[in-house]
Amino acid sequence: QKEVEQNSGPLSVPEGAIASLNCTYSDRGSQSFFWYRQYSGKSPELIMFIYSNGDKEDGRFTAQLNKASQYVSLLIRDSQPSDSATYLCAVNGGVHTDKLIFGTGTRLQVFP
């Protein structure tokens, strides 16, 4: 069973702090890794994707990938109340398919 694991939270951080969201995956064949943000009652919205080991930065967001440890994370700097949402980690299902396997999501709460 290919799995993606996330802590369901909630993760509570004060405004302006760094939020760190973590995800582990079981399939070593996975090539692509995605972070989606989902507001309550809305559909997932892509935040970042990463394919290579290391860090990838986009504005206040940094994705980190460690394939040896099968670990991917998302850092949100200068967290804002508008960042409060559920963050979904998704991993492609292997080399022979393009389906995404999602974790259950981590709920982030940023308080003023």
Partner 1 sequence: GAGVSQTPSNKVTEKGKYVELRCDPISGHTALYWYRQSLGQGPEFLIYFQGTGAADDSGLPNDRFFAVRPEGSVSTLKIQRTERGDSAVYLCASSPTRGDTQYFGPGTRLTVL
* Rounded (5°) CA angle 81-86-87: 105
Nearest approach, Cβ of residue 17 and partner 1 (Å): 25
Q: Which is nearer to partner 1, 49 or 71 (CB)?
A: 49
Q: Is the omega angle on the peptide bond into residue 10 within 30 degrees of 0, that is, cis?
A: yes
Touching partner 1, residues 8-37 (CB under 8 A): 8, 32, 34, 36
Under 8 Å between Cβ of 106 and 9: yes
Q: Give the largest CA-CA distance in the chain.
A: 45
Q: Is 42 in the site for partner 1 (CB under 8 A)?
A: yes
Q: Which is nearer to partner 1, 18 or 46 (CB)?
A: 46
According to DSSP, residue 65 is labeled E
- Kindly list the residues in this chain that would bind partner 1 in the complex (CB under 8 A): 4, 8, 32, 34, 36, 42-46, 49, 88, 90, 92-93, 97-105
